[in-house]
Chains A and B, each alone.
Chain A
Amino acid sequence: MVAIFVLTAFLFFILVDLLLLKVQGKNHPAFEPSFFQIDLSAFGGRSFSIPSNLFFSKGHTWLKKNKDGSLDIGIDTFGTMALGAVSLIKCAEVGKELKRGEIIFEGAFGNKTVNFLSPVNGIVKSVNTNIMGKKIYDPYDAWGVKLFSKDFHENEKLFLSGIGASNWMKKEFIKLKNFIGSHSPNIELAGATMYDGGSLANDALSSLIDKSANDFEKEFLSL
């Protein structure tokens, strides 16, 4: 009976903790919705919306024109999601004269870093220190760099917006699946989990990115 009692107590504490997390609206790491669950619901269009006033660079950064002529630049949904949860660890410094294609953000997932490239030429006016080192939950609220750009209008055709942007991003997600399929150390796993509704862990993705961070940059973050 003592054995049953101790076992019940052990399971009871685990269950209470799980319930507690549920009440708080959080997830236990074991039951966290995996990447592809987020992804699939994104395709349903419910939670997947792109603000229409933004421009998107093919390097997965977004740009927003401010009234004073400055540009806010941040990382888009794909950029924050493909990595599981990205956090910015470095930004271009204030006052720096950035050229298009130079590194504007360094994002970290785990201890691997990937570089996001600047979509425009310009001088960095300010850096959003509030979001540094934290997970980004709302990608379009979290601007990383404010800069002045002279040639934005000339290059505007390089950027996507509206329906064009959302179609492009869907394609990027599909491309990501293939990318994972071909780069996964365990192709069978990626295939199986993708088709049965998906439970590929973000961590599986992270270990994948650990190994092929360069390929990922080349494939998705180049302009």
Chain B
Amino acid sequence: MLKEKGILFDVTLCVGCGSCYQACKEKNNLPQTNKDFLKDHLSNNTFTVVEQYGKMYARKLCMHCNEPSCVSVCLVGAFNKNVTGAVLYDADKCIGCRYCMQACPHKIPRYEWGTTQPRVRKCTLCIDRVKAGKISACSEACPTEATLFGDMDQLVAVAKKRLKDDPEKYYQQIYGLEEAGGGHVLVLSPVPFEQLGYTSKLSKEPMPAFTMRAMEKIPPVVAVGGVFLSGMYWLTKRKNQIANEEKKTTNGNKEI
């Protein structure tokens, strides 16, 4: 069985060369969308971007959550969590409700608005390459090892070691380890993450838990509601019957 894979992105090592961006495009056969890759944004033809913040560069891509919102919300199960940790999409199942796009805490999924057979597009964590024993295209292309690909447990260990060894250099948080229940893309940065455009203030609880708290009330609501309504029906009917009978008897008395 394959071990759970992931990506560790270290902002301090990234030089903003755009190799990952290009490699991703080539690997996924995506057309060029912007001459200046730094100004590009995620779209149905761009699964990862490099954003510039002063002298720092930050990559944005699907975080491959441990308990993904998109998997949880999709009514036909077009999204699923692969054993490798990748969150994958099946266009054949999709009906196109776009709830996944609405629900994603990182606002990652993109849509093919221009076609009549639109698909949801996003990073697949290079599932085909991983299955073939290779690492993701972006990490292979990265010249500075800012993007590392590997087993999740090793990546977490590496990230923790970096934070510990160089506390001056890093903001003491591994983004993506606990955010929204954690995922398979980890980020290290010298500054707080909201300064680099990462969605901050995410709860440590996986997002689907918010829904589950309401969903788990459904069986009791149905049970109690059903009993209550049947009971009310029986009660009010009985009451009306008694009232009618009383009416009849009093009428009868009058006649006598």
Verify whether A and B have any Cβ pair under 8 Å. no
Question: Residues of A with Cβ closer than 8 Å to B?
Answer: none
> Which B residues contact A (CB, under 8 angstroms)?
none
